[in-house]
Amino acid sequence: MHKKIIILSFLFLIFGSCIAEKQSNYVVPAELKAKAYPAHTELNWQNRTGFMYEIYRSADGKQFEKSGETSSDNFLDFFGKPVEKETVYFYRVVPKGLDVKNNDAHKFETTVNVKPATDEELLDMTQRYTTRYFYDFAQPQLGLARERSNDVNGDIITTGGTGFGIMALVAGAERKYFSRNDAYKTIEKIVIFLEKTERFHGAWAHWYNAVTGKAFSFSQYDDGGDLVETAFLTEGLLTAREYFRTGNAEEKTLVSRITKLWETIEWNWYTQGTPDGLYWHWSKNYGFKINHRITGFDETMITYVLAASSPTYPIERSVYEKCYKNSTYYLNGKSYYGIKLDLGMEYGGPLFFTHYSFLGLNPNGLSDNTTNYFERNRAHAQIQIAYAKDNPRTQKGYGANCWGFTSSDDPINGYSSHDLNTVDDNGTISPTAAISSIVYTPKESMEALKHFYYDKGKVLFGKYGFYDAYNEGMVEGQQVVHSYLAIDQGPIAVMIENYRSGLLWKLFMSNPEIHQGLEKLGFRNSN
């Protein structure tokens, strides 16, 4: 009898704990918070994995309408166009199955004040969300940016994208998205990894495996140094060096460590000992087998600027003249839609050509004997706007407020350049292209941003900002590629900051070596 009592007591405890667990599930979400943005509310709470919630919104606290449901711990509720006057919204986030009219439902209620939106608030929201990719979604142990949000290769980190991310972190600290010390800690983790990981005559690989810390092959023979990705990374490092230069003792130590990394990149090694070429890749296994000369005009101009600026392993101007400028698609001189394009391929090529090199390198007042770089880049963006209006391939959705063609993910082909007036123009729009061009085309970029957010935000905007691409010609449900790429996120955050304050241009251009390198290559800088 005693044993039966023990067994029954034990079963009661188990059964009772299950009831208690069910009840405890029923009282979540805990710490429900809401923050309003121009046309959506972000709700966050504590959740238990797999538990489903329904989200309801009300304008009067009495009549609630369902906005959606999720098993996550956050939800973005888009209410469409911005409000015309300050409005209070009531939210209830209730366990699925619980009637929103139930007496207990008010326990899961919060309110948020929504104010009429301004362009500045829209820009700040976009920058804030995009910067999360490099702070919240950074590889937690190493601090580097993950290559993409949907990587099938494992936990792969990217060097070039990390360079863009470092600049976004600096701007984020200035904007108080997180503290200066938080930005410092993340960048310090990045520097620690870069100091310890394998380098290839000073250059870093395109990708590394975060678990092993080893270089991860980008392609069959590309398992070593990638000089262009190294340049993008260095662009970010040198920006951070100037940001922390006058800081506390720890920050000044970081400055010295960045300087050492910068001074140990053997840029001239990548000429193969010749005076007429700079090469993209070198591998300890395959040497210069890829044999890819870095020619322009494209995103790689920053590589030559940094290589010429190096205080320890510089290249000569002849390498720049005989390689980068000695290309079939360097000079252009044609007009498209009445807009003259001095440099670049037909229609200018993918729009990231105007972004990557100029995240730190200020194009304002920058010229040489071929072009004014701000005007050249602005023309590139204007050609894309004109093309979207003309829409010669009759793609759905193109127009004055829906443009932006660059290399990105693609709902049809996986990844594509989306070159204008070719089969690669398949109807795909990449938000990074138009938004990152805001320094060149502020009015048109703002119109595109408003369209992406106010008209398409419910499907196109997520936890880290705008998804990589969408194609309005696809069937509903397949239009959006729900991925984020570091190399596409970075330019959005960085160029918005440059548009708002010029901060990252100011910091990068404060490096004295850069001015020496520009002068060496024949650039003129009126700033």
pLDDT 10s digits, 150-178: 998 999 999 999 999 999 999 999 999 99
Cα separation of 231 and 212, whole Å?
24
| pLDDT for the residue 456 | 96
Question: Domains in the chain, start-ordered, CATH in brackets?
Answer: 31-117 (2.60.40.10), 121-525 (1.50.10.140)
pLDDT 10s digits, 70-83: 998 999 999 988 99
Peptide bond into 523 cis (omega under 30): no
Structure tokens at 255: 């400055």
What's the whole-number mean pLDDT along residues 295-314? 98
| Residue where the block lists tokens 């397949």 | 478
What is the percent of the chain where pLDDT is above 90? 87
Task: Name residue 410's beta-bridge partners.
Answer: 414
First to last CA, the chain: 93
Instruction: Write the single-letter amino acid at 46.
Output: Q
What's the whole-number mean pLDDT along residues 214-232? 96
Q: For the chain, what is the mean pLDDT?
A: 93
pLDDT 10s digits, 22-48: 434 454 678 899 999 999 999 999 876
| Residue where the block lists tokens 């410092």 | 184
**What distances in angstroms separate CA 40 from CA 123, 283, 381, 490, 516, one per listed residue?**
14, 48, 29, 23, 47
For 455, which DSSP code? I
What's the whole-number mean pLDDT along residues 403-428? 95
| pLDDT for the residue 479 | 96
**How does strand 524-525 pair with strand 480-481?**
unpaired
Contact in structure between 166 and 187 (CB atoms under 8 Å): yes
| pLDDT for the residue 377 | 98
What is the percent of the chain where pLDDT is above 70? 94
Cα separation of 494 and 496, whole Å?
5
What's the whole-number mean pLDDT along residues 262-281? 96
What's the whole-number mean pLDDT along residues 236-251? 98
| pLDDT for the residue 15 | 34
Cα separation of 504 and 484, whole Å?
23
Cα separation of 245 and 248, whole Å?
9
Cα separation of 237 and 144, whole Å?
12
Cα separation of 299 and 95, whole Å?
49
Reference 54, options 81, 31, 77; nearest CA is 77
Q: How many CB atoms lie within 10 A of CB 7?
A: 10
Reference 411, options 488, 489, 479, 483; nearest CA is 479
Q: CB under 8 Å to 443, separation ≥6 — which residues? A: none
Spacing of C-alpha 266 from chain mean position: 28
Cα separation of 225 and 223, whole Å?
7
- pTM metric for this prediction: 0.94
What's the whole-number mean pLDDT along residues 57-82? 94
Structure tokens at 470: 């969408």
- Whether pLDDT at 14 is above 90: no
- Whether pLDDT at 18 is above 50: no
Taking the CA atoms of residue 249, residue 252, residue 256 and residue 258 in that order, the dihedral angle to the nearest 10 degrees is 130
Strand, coil or helix: 482 = coil
Burial 462-481 (b: 16+ CB within 10 A, else e): bbbbbbbbbbbbbeeeebbb
Q: What stretch of H or E contains 97? A: none
pLDDT 10s digits, 382-395: 999 999 999 999 99
| pLDDT for the residue 49 | 66
Residue 527: pLDDT band with limits 50, 70, 90: confident
What's the whole-number mean pLDDT along residues 500-515? 98
Sheet architecture: strand order including 215-216: 156-158, 207-209, 215-216
- Whether pLDDT at 61 is above 50: yes
Q: How many CB atoms lie within 10 A of CB 512?
A: 10
Cα separation of 22 and 125, whole Å?
38
| pLDDT for the residue 24 | 42
Cα separation of 217 and 208, whole Å?
8
Q: How many CB atoms lie within 10 A of CB 377?
A: 26
| pLDDT for the residue 8 | 33
Structure tokens at 291: 């044999």
Residue 12: pLDDT band with limits 50, 70, 90: very low
pLDDT 10s digits, 428-481: 999 999 999 999 999 999 999 999 999 999 999 999 999 999 999 999 999 999
- Whether pLDDT at 499 is above 60: yes
Peptide bond into 29 cis (omega under 30): yes
Spacing of C-alpha 61 from chain mean position: 38
Q: How many CB atoms lie within 10 A of CB 113?
A: 10
In degrees and rounded to multiples of 5, residue 182 shows phi and psi of -65, -45
